[in-house]
Amino acid sequence: MLWVKSFHIVFIASWFAGLFYLPRIFVNLAMVPPESVAERERLLLMAHKLMRFTTLLAVPAVALGLWLWLGYGIGLGAGNGWMHAKLFVVALILGYHHACGVMLRRFQQGINRRGHVWYRWFNEAPVIMLVVVVLLVVIKPF
């Protein structure tokens, strides 16, 4: 079980690295002047490759988490309300990941409707979600 936990943590950390950096690329894309086609294309390529890699990391992160939850029974039973709260936040993280994919497709189609300040705030969401998950797992408040 410790091997599974270890790999789960490694994949989660790697997945979050992508979720931290991808919106930062969106900030830069929102700031690109219309005449800078080469810069826009380079940032779009970076974002596309990062999104693909981040998605590949999310799959084993979630699969190993499910293995720990269902296979080993971590968080099951009475007094494990923290796990329900954690799973809710994980669902929000998966939604955030999906939203990043939608935003990337809009940038690729040239139909971005938001400014760089909005993406700067959007970039803070995974930090908050990660802090909440870590606190729930370590402290297990309920």
Per the annotation, binding residues for heme are 8, 86
Q: What's the DSSP call for residue 71?
A: I
Residue stretches of the annotated binding site: 8, 86
Token couple for 11:
């994949």
Among 103, 106, 111, 118, smallest CA distance to 22 is for: 103
Contacts of residue 27, defined as CB under 8 A and 6 or more positions apart, other chains included, come to 116, 119, 120, 123
